[in-house]
Amino acid sequence: MKLKVTVNQTEYEIDVDVEEEQPQGLGPIVIGVNGGSNPIPTKASMTAASSNAVLAPLAGSVARILVQEGEEIEADQVLLILEAMKMETEIKAPAAGKVSAVLVAPGDAVQGGQALIEL
């Protein structure tokens, strides 16, 4: 390649060798979490709840259970406390009745919709 350069009003012709740059290719393209090395489950399974079960409204862990099997309860009585994201949620009885089974224990992790207590 020839270039014309002017220095102090004097023109010079210069031959220049130009090396062409090799275009950089794209690196690996990773789509998703960890590029597929840590697959995320697409389904969760839970056992079916009976029609008289008290269900968890959200995912969390059982902080405290305030009732026992065989205990008579009133409507809106607090049955247990769930902890989720450093907040406590009171789980109340939907109606008066008797506790037939406590299905969780303190410290258990639960999913939203999971049966906690059967009445």
Amino acid at 98: K
| pLDDT in the model for residue 51 | 72
| Residue 91 structure tokens | 């789980």
| pLDDT in the model for residue 5 | 85
Cα(29)–Cα(22) distance, integer angstroms? 20
| pLDDT in the model for residue 57 | 92
**Ordered strands of the 115-118 beta sheet:** 53-55, 115-118, 101-102
Please give the sequence-ordered ranges of beta strands (E in DSSP) within the chain, or none if there are none. 2-7, 10-15, 53-55, 60-65, 72-73, 78-84, 87-92, 97-98, 101-102, 109-110, 115-118
Contacts for 90 with CB less than 8 Å, ≥ 6 apart:
78, 81
| Domain 53-118: top CATH class | mainly beta
| pLDDT in the model for residue 17 | 80
Q: Can you give the residue ranges of every domain in the chain?
A: 53-118
| pLDDT in the model for residue 79 | 94
User: pLDDT tens track of the chain, all 119 residues?
Assistant: 788 888 888 988 888 787 777 767 666 666 655 555 555 555 555 555 567 889 999 999 999 999 999 999 999 999 999 999 889 999 999 999 999 999 999 999 999 889 999 99
